[in-house]
Structure 1
Amino acid sequence: MDERNKNIALCAISMSAAILKKKIKLKKKARRRKFWSDKWLLLRDSGRGLASMAMTELYTGNPNAFHDFARMSTSTFSELLEKISIIIAKQDTTMREAISPSARLLITLRYLATGETFTQLSHGFRASVSAISQIVHPTLKAIYSVLKDEFLNMPQTSNEWHIVANEFERKWNFPHCLGAIDGKHIALRYRKDYGPYFDNYMGFHSVILLAIVDANYKFLYVNVCTNGRANDAAAVNESYFLEEIRNNGFNIPPDSELPGTSEKVPFVFVADDAFKLTSRILKLHDQPTSDFHKIFNYRLSRAKRVVENGFGILASRFQILQRSIDLPMEKVKVLTLAACALHNFIGTRDGFESALLDSEDTDAISLTDGSWRNEVFLTSLQRSLETRSETEGRIVRETYTQYFNTIGYVPWQFNAIKNFNF
């Protein structure tokens, strides 16, 4: 082939490549334009999507139904929407109208409430799957950002801790108690990059949600940084937070006398067998034989019930936590923190439904389980393999045991150890 023909051939190949590239570009552009013009998506704001239905029919016409839909009252929803609208609002473009802040918030709340996939939410809210995926995480981040300082803040001063302790004494007859500690596994959908690091003792992938709950079922502290590895109890007991508790961090008040006594004891947290007994963390007597020890176990179990109910209400309201969450790890953490902040916010504004909570009659003849126990299946931490306990922890527990059996008794505790297993 001579030089002239060779140049002509190269020029033809170059033109063909350019034409093909342009066709591909135009095809992609056409697909994008078609995407935004799908009729079923454009009907979103015509009253045929779930967001329009919730705001036009339920919000104004049936507040109880709206509460079931959004997991909060209309007034609480409006307050939350006002707090985050400026953060999550998007500008309209020439191609489409932006999804409204109220719809964005409703989509996110339904994701938390139901655990539905983005595809399922897409059909109900008449928004594309890609739009849903770009709405949920930023909205969760906004919720946590605006609520955390006011509704998910750990006490910072001795006086603030005293308020917590006074509530425990008033409501649960357990003086010097600063909170109930527990941890639950948040299940994760398997991803190759997790490896064995997030395998737990039950054989699925998870992270651990460690929490302290106050006397009113609200979270004082949450941590979702612990992986669900096999010996989760050891991981929790070695955590920075529990180390700070043992070392008298967090401005915990100094030791003081139990009511009616002259003996000073530490302020404490109550916990279950996943945690190591220390002078700050009290747990049950193992296999008690005497009524003295059974009475202590009853009194501690009664106070510890707040964290069981706190987790139960959280997972009952936000059922995404009962499923294997199919999100990257960082987004799982944001989701969990936002859910805990919402739990406190809703509890503060709307209260907690009494039917959800465990209840005990005044004579301790019967204990009625809260309705959450019929539907919530959060995996607990395994029992700690640590058999040793700090000497100071045994001494403090024995002091409380003596106190609850003498000057600090409550009249119904004797019925309780007869009717319940402690």
Structure 2
Amino acid sequence: MSARKRRVVAAALILVLCDEDAPPKKKRPWVKEYLQKREQTGAHHSLTRDLLKDANEFRRYLRMTPDVFHRLADGIRADIQRQNTVMRESISAEERLEVTLRHLASGDSLRSLHYQYLEGHSTVHSIVYSTCTALYNYLRERHIVLPRTPAEWRAVATRFEGMWNYPHCLGAIDGKHINMFAPPNSGSLYFDYMGNFSLVLLAVVDADLKAIYVDVGTNGRTHDSTTFKKSTFYQRLTTDALNLPAPEPLPGAQCAQPYVFVADAAFPMSDNLMRPYPGKAPDPQKIYNYRHSRARRVSENFFGVLAQRFRILLRPIQALPNNVIMLVLACCSLHNMLRDEAIDREIQPEKLSNVGALSPCDNRGINPSVTASAVRDEFCRHFNQEGAVTWQSNYINEH
């Protein structure tokens, strides 16, 4: 054996002997000790079992009754339930839904939920976003329903007139900023005019404070009118693809008048989209602005109820933009479902003008077209003549 080979063999023997003398390495536990107590002391297996005995407390905790919760869990079970393995049982669909609803309802961080439910932090992260996706996919076709026929649109308008005294109104349009932490390497892309990082939530709201259309994802630095023009709703509105009813006379009038949506000054006025008169207006226009504001208030109330129920919206969200989008879409679809279930009728919308972290969009207006102004003038005439209500003059005199 050559001298070189002898040196290699000797070195190998030394390494073997050193390895045998070394103390054994401690094995890292597969699951941390406190997480192993999930089925004994985790919130789902302890607190929630007690809350199930009191429907009111359960509703305060998860924003819905036990019956609605279990029906919802059954509806999305196939999309969120995982298979059991030889090593352990999977987390149930009910627990996955509960963790997600608690995140949306309280705004608690994923780290906080990790300690409450004794689930791994990465597990909580995966549960929340996969369940939000499943919720939106399951609920949107059932509860976020844009009318498809003139008859369906007329039903919306009839409801609007009955509740808010604005005939031919198909919905109120508004946008709010959803504040979030600055995404990595995004620069000023999401930096809005109020000095926050945000995404814009655009909604078309019916008379019952339900969104019939939502769009979320445009970066916060984009002007409200630009956000609206980028939406599929605007594209369909301007190409007559919404299948709106043909113009008809207002109640007690003779001239045909288009069906319209109402919005604030940030939106571009058109024949089918009304906004208030600008500046210091004479009394007839003040009356129109009052009636317009009263109808448009449903969108403000929608955002108010949404934020009061899902308090994750009351503070900047610490998540990547795509995850923020899915959280917001899940909140909107859950809101509509709960409105349909009549669970939140005790909430007083008129007391919710302050919607916390939902910041208003930039309301710099755009000059209206001549025909759109004529449409607004006809509504103004109607509200001051055959469509007048007794209490509108009192409001004008007080203001």
TM-score, L = length of structure 1: 0.87
State the partner residue of 2:90. Answer: 98
User: Is residue 43–residue 126 contact of structure 1 (8 Å, CA) maintained in 2?
Assistant: yes
Question: Paired residue for 1:45?
Answer: 39
**CA contact under 8 A between 1:180 and 1:303: conserved in structure 2?**
yes
Residues 152-189 of structure 1: per-residue CA shift (max 9 Å, x gap): 12112222111111110111111111100000001121
Q: Distance in 2 between matches of 1:250 and 1:13?
A: 82
Range with greater deviation from structure 2 (236-245 or 404-413): 236-245
Aligned partner of 2:60 in structure 1 is 68
5 Å-filtered alignment, 1:9-408, equals 30-31=27-28, 34-36=29-31, 38=33, 40-46=34-40, 48-59=41-52, 61-229=53-221, 231-358=223-350, 370=351, 372-373=352-353, 376-386=356-366, 388-408=367-387
> Is the 2:179–2:357 contact (alpha carbons within 8 Å) kept by the matching residues of 1?
no
Residue 373 of structure 1 and its aligned partner are, at CA, apart by 3.7
**Partners of 1:276 and 1:407 in 2: how far apart?**
28
2:5 paired with 1:4: yes
Rounded to whole Å, the distance in 2 between the matches of 1:219 and 1:43 is 42
CA drift at 1:305: 0.9
1:36 corresponds to which letter in structure 2? Answer: V
Shift of 1:238: 5.0
Output the CA distance in 2 between the equivalents of 1:406 and 1:13: 104
Distance in 1 between the 2:354 and 2:231 partners?
32
Q: CA deviation at 1:7?
A: 4.8
TM-fit CA distance, 1:290: 1.8
Residue 416 (str. 1) matches residue 395 (str. 2): yes
The answer to whether the Cα contact below 8 Å between 2:217 and 2:321 also exists between their aligned partners in 1 is no
- Residue 199 of structure 1 and its aligned partner are, at CA, apart by 1.3
> Any idea what the Cα deviations from partners look like across 1:209-268, whole Å, max 9, x if unmatched?
000000000000000131111534434345443243233221111211112222111110
Query: Per-residue deviation at 1:354?
Result: 3.4
- Aligned CA distance change for structure 1 residues 293 and 35 (closer, same or farther; 3 Å): same
Task: Give unmatched runs, 5+ long, in structure 2.
Answer: none
Deviation at 1:383, TM superposition (A): 1.2
Task: Answer yes or no: is the 8 Å Cα contact 1:181–1:211 preserved in 2.
Answer: yes
Residue type at the aligned position of 1:405: N
Could you say which structure has the higher helix fraction?
A: 1
**Counterparts in 2 of 1:348 and 1:12: CA distance versus 1, 3 Å:** farther
Secondary structure of residue in 2 paired with 1:195: coil
Query: 1 CA distance for matches of 2:235 and 2:245?
Result: 17
C-alpha distance in structure 1 between counterparts of 2:47 and 2:237, whole Å:
45
Relative distance call for 1:374 and 1:176 in structure 2 (3 A) is closer
Distance 2:125 2:385 in 1: 59
Instruction: Please tell me whether the aligned partners of residues 183 and 321 of structure 2 are also in contact (alpha carbons under 8 angstroms).
Output: no
Deviations 1:90-130 (A, max 9, x none): 22323333222111111100100111111111111122212
| TM-score, reference length from structure 2 | 0.92
Cα distance in 2, alignment partners of residues 401 and 385 from structure 1:
20
| Structure 1 gaps, min length 5 | 359-369
3-state SS of 2:332 partner: helix
Q: Which residue of 2 aligns with 1:361?
A: none
How many matched pairs? 396
Name the CA shift for 1:71/1:351 in 2 (closer, same or farther; >3 Å): closer
Deviation of 1:9 (Å): 7.0
Q: CA 1:385 to 1:350, structure 2 compared with 1: closer, same or farther past 3 Å? A: closer
The answer to whether the 8 Å contact 2:100/2:132 transfers is yes
Structure 2 CA distance for aligned equivalents of residues 254 and 126 of structure 1? 58
SS in 2 for 1:211: strand
Whole-angstrom CA distance in 1 between matches of 2:116 and 2:369: 55
